[in-house]
Amino acid sequence: MIDVLYFAWVRERIGLPKEQVETTAATVADLVAELELREERYAAAFEDISALRVAVDQELCDFDTPLAGVREVAFFPPMTGG
């Protein structure tokens, strides 16, 4: 079970900030592929992966990052701090 978090317009498109996902996905990209198949709102959020960033256990990562032992994955658009 992995906690999956969504921020900014990713959260708005999917319609929730956080959910627990039962998955056997090996990598972040595999998890995205699983989520995309769920419903249209997920497909809409993950339509253009190049517009997204991902953090694995609160650290910025690539989409090919393995999920073994991971507790938390977050998806969000490029950050706009400052």
Partner 1 sequence: MTVRIQAASFDLGAEVQGFAAKQTEAGAVVNFTGIVRNTAAGDLDRMEIEHYPGMTEIALAGIDAKATQRWSLKDSLIIHRFGTLRPGDMIMMVATASPHRVDAFEAAQYLMDYLKSRAPFWKKEFTTDGAEWVEAKPIDEKALTRWQ
> Binding residues for partner 1, per CB under 8 A?
5, 7-9, 55, 58-60, 74, 76-82
Q: How far is the CB of 32 from partner 1 (least distance, A)?
A: 18
Cα 68 from Cα 47, distance rounded (Å): 25
Q: Which is nearer to partner 1, 12 or 39 (CB)?
A: 12
Q: Which is nearer to partner 1, 18 or 38 (CB)?
A: 18
Q: Which is nearer to partner 1, 2 or 74 (CB)?
A: 74
Tokens of 52: 């997204």
> What is the 3 state secondary structure string of 37-52?
HHCHHHHHHCCCHHHC
